[in-house]
């Protein structure tokens, strides 16, 4: 059973997250031949102040 864990900075819409789940499921189905019923996708949304790039939080970078 393939399991994909995706980390995203908070703020994506429900539609965007649905698209991620659909496309990641399709990619795993194609890449490893797993039935889509066996694919699991877990999206974790991270607050902007908890995500850093080059020593600075994304929130402080204004992203």
Residues noted as catalytic: 2
CA distance 27 to 4: 11
- Helix, strand, coil fractions of the chain, as percent rounded to 5: 45, 30, 25
Rg, Å, the chain Cα set: 14
């Amino acid at each position: 059973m393939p399991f994909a864990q995706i980390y995203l900075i908070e703020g994506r819409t429900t539609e965007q997250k649905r698209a991620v789940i659909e496309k990641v499921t399709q990619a795993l189905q194609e890449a490893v031949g797993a039935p889509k019923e066996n694919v699991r996708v877990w999206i974790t949304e991270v607050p902007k102040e908890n995500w850093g790039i080059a020593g600075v939080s994304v929130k402080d970078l204004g992203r």
